[in-house]
Amino acid sequence: MTDINETHDPALTSWIESANGPTADFPVQNLPYGVFSDGASGSPRPGVAIGDNILDLRLIEAAGLLPTEQPVFDGQSLNAFMALGRAGWSATRSALSRLLSTDGDSRLRDDPELSERALVPRAKCQMHMPVAIRGYTDFYSSREHATNVGKMFRDPENALMPNWLHIPIGYNGRASTVVVSGTDVHRPMGQTRAPGAEGPQFGPCRKLDIELEMGALIGGGNPMGRPISVTEADAMIFGYVLLNDWSARDIQVWEYQPLGPFQAKAFATTISPWVVTQEALEPFRVHGPAQSPVPLPYLVQRGAYNFDVQLEVRLTPDGSSDSTTICRTNFKHMYWSSAQQLTHHASSGCAMETGDLLGSGTISGAERDSLGSLLELTWNGNEPLELASGGSRSFIEDGDILTLYGRCRGDGYNVGFGEAGGKVLPAVDFTGET
Ligand code: MN
């Protein structure tokens, strides 16, 4: 855990006006990292969001305003920076905080030529994948979600599997189809078996769903064969993004035994473009639910390892201006923390690397409207949701836009995550081809 320091001071303001005030998602206390381009100057490059602007990190690093010893912002991803580890992340955050604060280091503010070039309006920019994802592992760490799924598909009396309270359950997903917010997603084709049918069929998924999750991004790593403690794991988490683990429920239910989900999850995972650092989240640390039975010693965490992040999902039908909020929940409810997930992941000796992405698992709360998937919200399609624009949904239809939002509410300021959205396009049916 990083201590609360001067970068978290609620009284800090920025000389960039749009970063101030109770509605700004990117105040000087946040400083999330992303990769952007604008029409004028071409190639994708790292930046930090501040109010309505993006500060070009390649440019200000080259100008000598950052404490990095070697250039880490001269590429098209955050990986080189993430590999520095916690001391480098913290020194850079501190320097950025001073450069962008009203009463800080005035070298950027007092250089109109440099600040004019280095600050780009966000509205003019396109966002890209912030990180070259090395591996993507998805967990299953909400007790409410695991219980709901267990009730639906297994035994209502014994909804949690016997291992669930002892192991952060996960599976290895696909890094190749992790995409940034705004990327269209085709409805997957797949093999399904209708209830009562003798055999399977192949065709477009009929039960397309979302999973509202957070993704932890790893910086640094461990050599193969050398596990990591929970404390070390916590220090290796660079930051978090919003994550939608798109899921094909009809494909999943037919394929998932005995090795877990495969094609039902492999077609797309959408993340938000801004990585909110774990250091920015320090004021929002909270204790997770009490873990009972006490986990095995290698998984015991002492202290606050969860984060209070308010989350929301909206569904917007094709061409409609009316979106419907289908879920409101909070990251703080997770039973297993990201640090415990990472420790368990490396516990066999599995090497973790800079750019690894750990999905938290669907984040469901205890209330009816706090469930993080349509599977739960509609109870496997049996209780359709009414939409503000008219009509209803059991699962996602072609043309629907699904968008995740996240925000921490601080003392007079927010730490916002922005959004992670994607539009669903019709399936690409190749079955007539040879
Ligand atoms: Mn998932």
Please give the chain's pLDDT, 434 residues, in tens. 778 999 999 999 999 999 999 999 999 999 999 999 997 667 999 999 999 999 999 999 999 999 999 999 999 999 999 999 999 999 999 999 999 999 999 999 999 999 999 999 999 999 999 999 999 999 999 999 999 999 999 899 999 999 999 999 999 999 999 999 999 999 999 999 998 999 999 999 999 999 999 999 999 999 999 999 999 999 999 999 999 999 999 999 999 999 999 999 999 999 999 999 999 999 999 999 999 999 999 999 999 999 999 999 999 999 999 999 999 999 999 999 999 999 999 999 999 999 999 999 999 999 999 999 999 999 999 999 999 999 999 999 999 999 999 999 999 999 999 999 999 999 999 988 77
Active site residue 145: yes
Quote the ligand 1 centre to 373 CA distance (angstroms).
10
Quote the ligand 1 centre to 379 CA distance (angstroms).
17
Query: The tokens of 303 are what?
Result: 């202290």
- Classified as helix, coil or strand, 212 is strand
- Which residues lie at CB < 5 A from ion ligand 1? 138, 211, 245
DSSP single-letter state for residue 157: G
Longest CA–CA separation in the chain, Å: 74
Under 8 Å between Cβ of 267 and 279:
no
Q: For domain 136-425, give the CATH superfamily.
A: Fumarylacetoacetase-like, C-terminal domain (3.90.850.10)
Quote the ligand 1 centre to 252 CA distance (angstroms).
12
**What is the H or E stretch that residue 65 is in?**
none
Q: For domain 6-128, give the CATH superfamily.
A: Fumarylacetoacetase, N-terminal domain (2.30.30.230)
Q: Which of 8, 145, 333, 344 is catalytic?
A: 145
pTM of the model: 0.97
Gap between the Cα atoms of 18 and 16, Å rounded: 6
Quote the ligand 1 centre to 360 CA distance (angstroms).
7
Amino acid at 192: T
Question: Residue 339: which of 225, 242, 238 has the closest Cα?
Answer: 238
Domain spans in the chain, listed from the N-terminal domain onward:
6-128, 136-425
Question: Residue 240: which of 266, 272, 267 has the closest Cα?
Answer: 272
**What is the H or E stretch that residue 138 is in?**
strand 136-139
